[in-house]
Amino acid sequence: MEAAVKEQKQLKRREYLLEGNMWKVILSISLPMVCYNLCNYFYGIYDMMLVQSAGIGDAADIVVLEQIKNMISTIGGALATGGGIMVARRYGAKQLEEARKCANTLFTMAMVVALITLVFIPVGGPFLRLFNTDPSIIENSIGYYNVQILTLVVTTMNSAMISMEKAKGNTAQLLCLNLGVIVIKISLTTLFVYGPFENVTNTWLAVSTLLAQLFLFLSGLILCFRKSNILRIRIRDFNFRKFEVGNIVRLAIPVFIGNFLFSFGKVYVNAAATAKYGKMCVGALGISNTMAGLFTNITNSMGDCGSTIVSQNYGNKNGGRIKQFFRISLFYVISLSVVGTILMFTMKEQIAVFFAPNDTLYQEMIVNIFAWECFDIAFLGISHSCNALFNGFGKTKATMLFSMLRLFALRVPVLLLLMHVVKMDYTACGVAMFVSNTVIGIVQLIAAMVYYAKMKEKHPELFGQVRQEQA
């Protein structure tokens, strides 16, 4: 009886997402996920602070290895995105049994991908050298890297479970769990660094992250396997149904390629910056990326949740609400991004002093790079809103194309031009990021507006019309 009542609550939540006030719907789904991603964001900030203040390593080591880890994590993230779109579409269409089967397929695939991720531990050294990682970073931080790979195994499963909850619009419970995660992470990190331990290294920071993510993993298993879950996961239902796997892979591969290239672009810039300007430049660039990420993480979370809203309304054949979502999403993102740009640019000197209190040269480097990064925050936010529209319609190849353009047509050519032709100093790294993010944001906005204008023509079934077949 209790399980039936909880199922009815979930269905009532579904109706709210499909019929409720869109301004509130976007916030109610996005805010818990914003908190989740901000937890991960503040992990990095806190780790960098402790590395600098406690003298247990170099911040540049964490920056470089985090970017490489993020590149690997695109596999699990893409799988969660593709699977989440398919589950949300069926859930929105009220095909609950099909949605449950798809969720079980996604869970099974995530387990396989998580286990495959372990291969990056024994090949860690050669793999890091493949990306021209500074030998001192490999020597000093290979333990940190290994633990981060173990964390990826856990977060791959977490991403899949989160995407299932997101598909139902059930992100509120995730907020409570994430508060627990951040308390565990910060408590353990502080204990390891300032507690009664000797010879603490940055590996210990990675261990605290792993333990915090394990808490989320165990809690997620309880949520997914409980009887009252309308998309309940059961061991006997683990499967590789050809139809479901094909649909998920079809959507996930372009997302993976796009996200991988975006992360690879950052890894490439780090390697080029190290070779040309030295390790300190990588640290400054990492701090710049991290601080800009305070707002781009929020808009990315909103875009990620937005694809769920689009997918659900696509399944429910409600094109009007999809168009309404895109307008409101753009308003939220642009407003937030403008505030972020003004705030970050105004505080750039204070931020530099915070991260490099006793090094004026390092402070100057941070300020000069970060000044450029501040001005692409709004354009990254626009990209995230446009991605929500395209991904929600299953147009993941479009988002892949934009990522390829960002890297191969803009970021790398601009960086090489500024380095070797213009002979610009380390500021070239910030300029290259600014140019690539700004131009692709404008291009994506134009493409999304064209798609928005032609939506009724391309998808008449979403507007209560029947497509006329050509004679």
Tokens of 61: 């080591």
> Residue 468: which pLDDT band, with cuts at 50, 70 and 90?
very low
Q: What is the pLDDT of residue 58?
A: 65
387-434 pLDDT, tens digit per residue, is 999 998 989 889 889 988 988 889 889 999 999 899 899 999 889 989
Q: What is the pLDDT of residue 9?
A: 67
> Residue 52: which pLDDT band, with cuts at 50, 70 and 90?
low
Name the more confident of 42 and 458.
458
The Cα angle at residue 447 between residues 446 and 449, in degrees rounded to 5 = 65
Q: Is 165 left (phi over 0), alpha (psi -120 to 50) or beta?
A: alpha
255-291 pLDDT, tens digit per residue, is 888 888 877 877 777 778 878 888 788 778 878 887 8
The Cα angle at residue 394 between residues 72 and 240, in degrees rounded to 5 = 65
Tokens of 168: 């139902």
- Nearest-angstrom CA–CA distance, 109 and 86: 14
Q: What is the pLDDT of residue 330?
A: 93
Instruction: Note the helical H segments in 278-426.
Output: 279-315, 319-346, 348-355, 360-374, 377-392, 396-404, 412-420
Closest C-alpha among 212, 195, 162 to residue 43 = 212
DSSP 266-294: HHHHHHHHHHHH-HHHHHHHHHHHHHHHH
- Nearest-angstrom CA–CA distance, 225 and 240: 19
- Nearest-angstrom CA–CA distance, 9 and 229: 10
Mean pLDDT of 167-191: 81
3-state secondary structure of 241: coil
Tell me how far CA of residue 77 lies from CA of 27, 80, 91, 335, 437, in angstroms. Answer: 22, 5, 20, 27, 21
- Nearest-angstrom CA–CA distance, 352 and 346: 12
Residue 162 has phi, psi (to 5 degrees) of -65, -40
> Residue 467: which pLDDT band, with cuts at 50, 70 and 90?
very low
What does pLDDT average to over the chain?
Answer: 85
309-363 pLDDT, tens digit per residue, is 898 898 888 999 999 999 999 999 999 999 999 999 999 999 888 877 878 888 8
Name the more confident of 465 and 329.
329
Residue 105 CB neighbour total at 10 angstroms: 24
- Nearest-angstrom CA–CA distance, 338 and 334: 6
DSSP code, position 471: -
